[in-house]
Structure 1
Amino acid sequence: MANLTRGIDHIGITVPDIEEATTFFKKAFHAKIAYDNKKLGDEPQQGEAVEKTLGLKNGAKVIHIRILSFDNGSNIELFHFKDTEQREPVIASDFGVQHVAFYVDDIQQSADAFVEAGGELLTEPGELLGDVENESGEFVYGRAPWGMLIELISYNPNQLNYPEDSEAKRFTP
């Protein structure tokens, strides 16, 4: 049977303010606006059909949606909701999507840009952890201004020590 999956098209992220999140992603990762699916000020997406389609709580309204594009990687779809209870961003031990990682060429320069854009690093960049990546590169975790966990990672794909039973090599932009 043929593989019908090409790759990840986008990652959806709920933010408190799409303009502020866009500014952050532009400054930190050179994101570009592809388009707005729903402009702020347009009639909100709401009602039973939207709640069912997106798995929302009753009364939630989608008031702004924007697609951000990156030169070499998946897109990010930003969402801003109204009239629904918001929870704190997840931490790494929570179920579900817990972080997004950006492959970068220079970890320190990228970490500096992340902080200058309004992010907060959890530590300084350090050596990758794990047997496969051992001594192949560096990484650091940080929080975006709204609390979302983001990883910066840089490694030499030719230095990864894959186990014998590996079914594939890791995708590297």
Structure 2
Amino acid sequence: MSTTSHIRGIDHIGITVPNVTEASQFLEQAFNAKTLYDLVEKDEEPMEGEETEKQLGIPQGAKVVHMKLMQLGKSATIELFEFENTNQRKSIALNDFGITHFAVYVDDMEYAAERFKTAGGELLSQPHGLGGIEKGPHNAGVYGRAPWGSLIELITYADGLQKKSINRWTPPQRN
């Protein structure tokens, strides 16, 4: 038996949005995200039917009408879904059960926050210092809402963590 882990890490994050085209434009403008490919294009046959419903755990009659993968820097990809023919709820809040947000590591908090707002996002507050083990003079974070309502956190911890023995994965710096 191998003692090496077979787990590499997070591959992608799936986000259901009202309109994949508009959501991808926001991600491009806010984070310089790049489209990798469309799994289902808007003018193609949708993903639907009993087998799709079973595989994806979606309600009967729901169909995926647009699905796109986007690359965000040197990190996990984002998979955008657009559905039709199903009831949908608004985005959840940070205090709800389930995956509530994703965080984007940034080198320049002020610049990233401005791009986020210019692209159509809304910051919940001004960027602020981090607390606890993440506290540092240049460490900061801020939560914002994407145009479709999902929470996205901008974070930077250039000063590292107060406990140097902790090896937290951080996206590599862009060249």
TM-score (norm 2): 0.92
Whole-Å Cα distance in 1 between the matches of residues 163 and 54 of structure 2? 42
Q: How does 1:67-146 map to 2 (within 5 A)?
A: 67-129=69-131, 131-135=132-136, 137-146=139-148
- In structure 1, give the amino acid aligned to 2:21: E
Alignment: residue pair count: 168
| Match status 1:169 vs 2:167 | yes
Query: Aligned-pair distance for 1:163?
Result: 8.5
TM-score (norm 1): 0.93
Whole-Å Cα distance in 2 between the matches of residues 159 and 58 of structure 1? 48
Partner SS state of residue 132, structure 1: helix
Q: 1:63 aligns with which of 60, 65, 68?
A: 65
Whole-Å Cα distance in 1 between the matches of residues 54 and 33 of structure 2? 31
Query: Aligned-pair distance for 1:102?
Result: 0.2
Q: 1:7 aligns with which of 9, 17, 20?
A: 9
Whole-Å Cα distance in 2 between the matches of residues 21 and 160 of structure 1? 33
Structure 1, unpaired ranges of 5+:
none
Whole-Å Cα distance in 1 between the matches of residues 160 and 41 of structure 2? 45
Whole-Å Cα distance in 2 between the matches of residues 70 and 14 of structure 1? 17
Q: What is the root-mean-square deviation of aligned Cα atoms in Å?
A: 1.3
**Contact (CA 8 Å) 1:103, 1:153: kept in 2 or not?**
yes
Query: Aligned-pair distance for 1:149?
Result: 0.3
**Which runs of structure 1 show a deviation greater than 2 angstroms over 4 or more consecutive aligned residues?**
161-164
**Contact (CA 8 Å) 1:132, 1:163: kept in 2 or not?**
no
1:45 corresponds to: 47
